[in-house]
Amino acid sequence: MGLLGFKLKLGMFPNTKKIDKQHDALVREYQEYLEYSKSEELSRFEYLNRYLNSPQFEELENNPDADRAEIDKIKNEFKHLKKSPKLVAYLKSKSHEAKFIPLKTWKLAFEDQFEDGKLDTQKWMTRHYWGDQLMDSNYSLPGDQHCSTDGNNVSLSGSKLSITTKKQTASGFSWNPASGFIYRDFPYTSGVINSGKSFRQTYGKLEAKIKVPKGNAYHAFWLAGERALPQINVFKYSKKKFYLGNFWGSMAIPNGLNRNVTAITGAFAGKSYIFSLEWTPKHLEWSINGKVFKIANRGIPSEPMYIAFASGVEEGARLSNPVKLEIDWVRFYTKV
């Protein structure tokens, strides 16, 4: 399929910070709602509510020989419980329970908010997966002008992960389809992280809050499997465009690569957005800040795939000042 494209304006997107705050508030409310639903206080309130509205209590209250002090005690207990802040919040949430449907639909399977001050190496590796597996080293892709370092260009600060691309001479491996891995010199350095050794998933919803910087570096967020194909690009940012797409087929045969890619242009650099991919057996759906921009129903992967982020300098590009791809958080959900 050919390359599709369109231009967007910033006003077309819901506010990123507002979406983030609303999500966090909803998650907190849902957690409190679930915790209180199992509480002894709620159990007691529901019991008293049933009892006070039962024929048995009505009969007791109309009995002149009944213990009035005990009846008043029960009524006062119920009246006190009705004013409980936790109960009031619970009943309010319950009356709008439909807003919890997304949280009930998707179960969190993987998350990193990058709050520990250093990279969680139980989740992430700082090499391309096959470089680690084949030669215990990192490597750069065909056409890259940068050396992919082994974590030197990856850092954490202020609950954000950064991949820095900069002008810096370095030596490392480069993959050449005709010759294999070649050791060479590079004028730039950059980095990569992926979950290839720790976490893979088939189907679900993947999302991350990311700020793409200005400058001539490229930046990518994708899902990869055991082989080069299939691959799903949540996005690749290059030359002031976002490319959303998926790739499938075989690179071992002529014209064996299939692709479905959409290009989006606009003033994206320097601002944070929430990029999402919904992946089911029947379709792929790309969203930015909750707004759907692409749906595909061909070349849908059906194998476990891992999360990857990278930055770099493409062939023909020039970079003077360092640039940082900033990742605020990443989450991968599985459908309940």
| Closest residue by Cα to residue 235 from 251, 219, 249 | 219
Q: What are φ and ψ of residue 272, in 5° steps?
A: -90, 140
Residue 266's pLDDT is what?
A: 77
Residue 328's pLDDT is what?
A: 98
Buried b (16+ CB within 10 A) or exposed e, 58-84: eebeeeeeeeeeeeeeeeeebeebeeb
* Torsional sign, CA 312, 317, 318, 321: negative
pLDDT digits (tens, 9 = 90+) for 119-128: 999 999 999 9
Prediction pTM value: 0.90
**Residue 5: pLDDT over 90:** no
Distance CA 129, CA 148 (A): 12
**Residue 1: pLDDT over 50:** no
Residue 2's pLDDT is what?
A: 44
pLDDT digits (tens, 9 = 90+) for 57-76: 999 999 999 999 999 999 99
pLDDT digits (tens, 9 = 90+) for 7-53: 555 556 788 999 999 999 999 999 999 999 999 999 999 999 999 99
pLDDT digits (tens, 9 = 90+) for 77-104: 999 999 999 999 999 999 999 999 999 9
**Residue 236: pLDDT over 90:** yes
Contacts of 22 (CB under 8 A, 6+ apart): none
Most confident of 11-20, 170-179, 216-225, 259-268: 216-225
Residue 9's pLDDT is what?
A: 55
Distance CA 224, CA 301 (A): 10
In what helix (H) or strand (E) does residue 231 lie, and over which residues does it extend? strand 231-238
Q: Which domains does the chain have, with CATH numbers?
A: 4-18+104-335 (2.60.120.200), 39-95 (no CATH)
CB atoms within 10 A of CB 48: 18
